[in-house]
Amino acid sequence: MCEVQIVLVEPSHPGNIGGAARAMKTMGLSKLVLVKPKRFPDPQADWRAAGALDVVESTVVFNTLEAALAPSVLTAATSARSRHIPWPVMNSAEFAEHVHKEYSSTDIVSVVFGREDSGLTNDELNLCNMQVQIPSSSNYGSLNLAMAVQVVAYDLFRVRSQASPTENAWDRPLATHQELGSFFAHLESVLTEIDFYDPENPREAMTRLRRLFSRTDLDQTEVQILRGILSHIEKATHKN
Ligand code: SAH
């Protein structure tokens, strides 16, 4: 089983940060990451954390979601909503099984949670490989932030106690979020240069390409090959 980090994007209530920390510790998780929290540190976070003060105290704060996700080989955005361009989606139990089976102990997997009032933006959802939904009522399916963390952490805890599957022996380490991000930037710049992609009128091409490459678990060598191809296209176009 991989290392799972819980990422909260711009939480506004410190109580939810403490609540999330407690939810995590009770389920054996300890890595909490915050992106631009409104109020943190805050006594309310400590109070709601109760016996999980150590998780709150070791929390790491980032200014951007991309920086928070940089070392991850898999990023999952939690959201109750379905998307305009559908992304790969699992419910929280399927997600737990998936990470238990497919990722090894050196892999970092991030589960991203949105703001209390507005969730995650489309751009934030696009940064992630997949979406995780907690099955809930069609009348009102939006859980409190810390409670959503609890459900996901519980599903992960349940599979952790199962026998560990034999580690999937892939021949190369998986590409990290940061390596994929540099590849996407390189791809966009080459596609713009060869007039395939018009940044003024982007429509959906880049989003769809992101989805394509995000769902294939690219390894580091594959990303290097793809970037090598892009560099050769750049060289060839500069020659002409
Ligand atoms: N009003 C917001 C909901 C925010 S709830 C919206 O429309 O998106 C705060 C966060 O809890 C969400 O961003 C998500 O990360 C998580 N969450 C709440 N309910 C969820 C559900 N049913 N499935 C997955 N994540 C959920």
pTM above 0.85, yes or no: yes
Cross-strand partners of 33 = 7, 60
Model confidence band, residue 167 (pLDDT cutoffs 50, 70, 90): low
**C-beta 113 within 6 A of ligand 1:** yes
The whole-number pLDDT of residue 51 equals: 98
Q: What is the pLDDT of residues 220-239, one digit of tens each?
A: 999 999 999 999 999 999 88
Q: What is the pLDDT of residues 27-56, one digit of tens each?
A: 999 999 999 999 999 999 999 999 999 999
Report the nearest-CA residue for atom 18 of ligand 1. 143
Q: What is the pLDDT of residues 197-217, one digit of tens each?
A: 888 887 889 999 999 999 999
For the cut 80, the answer to whether the pLDDT of residue 158 exceeds it is yes
Of 87, 143, 152, the one to substitute when testing ligand 1's pocket (max ligand atoms within 8 A of C-beta) is 143
Q: How deeply is 240 buried, as exposed, middle or buried, from its count of CB atoms within 10 A (0-12, 13-18, 19+)?
A: exposed
The whole-number pLDDT of residue 168 equals: 64
The whole-number pLDDT of residue 127 equals: 96
One-letter amino acid at 154 equals: Y
Report the nearest-CA residue for atom 1 of ligand 1. 118
**C-beta 151 within 6 A of ligand 1:** no
Residue 92's contacts (CB-CB under 8 Å, 6 or more residues apart) are: 78, 132, 133, 134, 135, 151, 152, 155
The Å distance, Cα 220 to ligand 1 centre, comes to 32
